[in-house]
Amino acid sequence: MKKKRAYEAIVIGTSAGGLEALSKVLPLLKADLPVPVFVVQHISPSSDSYLVNYFNKMCKLRVKESEDKEFIKPGTVYFAPPDYHLLIEENRSISLSNAEKINYSRPSIDVTFETAIWAYGARLIGIIMTGANWDGASGLSQIKEAGGYTIVENPKTSLVSRMPEAAIAKSKPNLILNLEDIGEKLNDLIR
């Protein structure tokens, strides 16, 4: 029997329709999930901490806004703050940057995915869900090239299909899943 790879982190990218999509994935993650989860949701630069408060009420895991220079802990969902890129350092800490927008976005999914590879390499799971542009397609492709595991939401179940379609075309993901199946698949991959 083939031994499962021990994954060490999950990165999720989403945009238009992301609140609904994340509410069908994050609450399914088990309380004892032994890895961190990083979420990049395209949001307005003037947004408050609504997302963190919203998901803290419905998730079994701790949900927080990422802070510059904090060390990453397992069992925590880290949201990229409004108007900042979330970078994951090789020493497994977080850096925030207000450098120029990438793919018209800050936070950029590609930035987080690409830097997560530095820290986790082949032990990384990358996920792209609903969204209206192509941010994340390149980063997901790089995760796959580094040996990580890649999942894309089925464009047919996404509120806005452009981002999943771009990710499928660019990265040829390991799995294309209906939205309602992503959370349980993550629990299974991490076990």
d(CA 47, CA 146): 34
Which residues make Cβ contacts (< 8 Å) with residue 176, sequence separation at least 6? 151, 152, 153, 154, 164, 168
Please pick, among 42, 138, 141, 161, the residue that the annotation labels catalytic. Answer: 42
Residue 42 appears among annotated catalytic residues: yes
Residue 15 appears among annotated catalytic residues: yes
Residue 135 appears among annotated catalytic residues: yes
Cβ proximity of 81 and 96 under 8 Å:
yes
Please pick, among 108, 135, 138, 141, the residue that the annotation labels catalytic. Answer: 135
Identify the CA nearest to 155 among candidates 182, 181, 127, 177: 177
As annotated, the active-site residues are 15, 42, 135
